[in-house]
Amino acid sequence: MDTFFEQFPIVFQALNVGFLQTLKLFAVTLLGALPLGLIISFGSMSKFKPLSAVVRVFVWIIRGTPLMLQLLIIYFFPGLVFNNPIWGGGEDGRFIASAVAFILNYACYFSEIYRGGIQGVPIGQQEAGQVLGLSKSQIFFKITLLQMIKRIVPPMSNEIITLVKDTSLARIIALQEVIWAGQAFMKGSQGISGAIWPLFFTGVYYLIFSGILSLLFSYVEKKLSYFKA
């Protein structure tokens, strides 16, 4: 068996490749789920009752079942039931299926956060703008938006840091993210087998990344702490 110092460069290289996939899934999920969540939140607040009912049931189902189950269903369902594996095989197909599952799941969580932020701004703020003669868009952009953001940032930062760790769930459909890459050295890969330390070492990637995000969010929260809303 090689020494740790001989193994390290090989493992480090492999974990970096895996972590890149983790990061990609993280970024694509945010890019899709942040705007989709806003649309879903508007749907759930719609005055058109059938729409808001359907949206709320959808959100309830997605939030009430495990993301891992959703991943499996989204990945395997089209192929097994319709005999139409729309995602295609290989790593690209697994990535697309993972991204779809993550975006849907996180959009539902985000929608509830947006809804809380939007409904949390007292109606008196809007009315104060109205009686001063401001237009709807002036009221939204100049008065309510920042108050919503202030309300949204703390729960959003929790959710986003959870997302960092949740990306590892894509391992269940064999997406080659960082834990998959670490685990490979237990079974045997690139001449290294039975090594447990690479798996432990994947934790370092998560710690550093979630640590950076925590710092970023606490900076934003601090920036917004000059007022109470």
Partner 1 sequence: MAILEVKDIRKSFDNTEVLKGIDFTLEEGQVLTIIGSSGSGKTTLLRCLNSLEFADKGQIIVDGNVIFDGENTKRLSESELRNNRLHFGLVFQSFNLFPQYSVLENITLAPKLLNKGTKEEIEKEALELLESVGLSEKKDNYPCELSGGQQQRVAIARALAMKPRILCFDEPTSALDPELTGEVLKVIRSLADKRMTMIIVTHEMTFAHDVSDKLIFMDNGVIAEEGGPDILENPSSDRLKAFLTSF
Which of 53, 69, 132, 208 is close enough to bind partner 1 by CB under 8 A?
Answer: 132
Nearer to partner 1, 133 or 194 (CB): 133
Binding range to partner 1, per CB under 8 A, among 37-45, 86-94, 136-144, 152-160: 136-144
Which of 12, 31, 60, 136 is close enough to bind partner 1 by CB under 8 A?
Answer: 136
Counting contacts by CB under 8 A, is residue 47 touching partner 1?
no
| Contacts of range 74-82, beta carbons closer than 8 Å, 24 or more positions apart | 74/100, 74/101, 74/104, 75/101, 75/173, 76/173
Counting contacts by CB under 8 A, is residue 1 touching partner 1?
no
Query: What is the rounded radius of gyration, in angstroms, for the C-alpha atoms of the chain?
Result: 22
Q: How far is the CB of 156 from partner 1 (least distance, A)?
A: 18
Counting contacts by CB under 8 A, is residue 142 touching partner 1?
yes
Which of 125, 157, 168, 183 is close enough to bind partner 1 by CB under 8 A?
Answer: 125
Beta bridge partners of 189: 192
Per residue in 107-143, is it b (16+ CB within 10 Å) or e — as a string? bbbbbbbbbebbeebeeeeeeebeeeebeeeebeeeb
- Residues forming contacts to partner 1 in the complex (CB under 8 A) are 122, 124-125, 127-136, 138, 142-143, 146-147, 150, 226-229
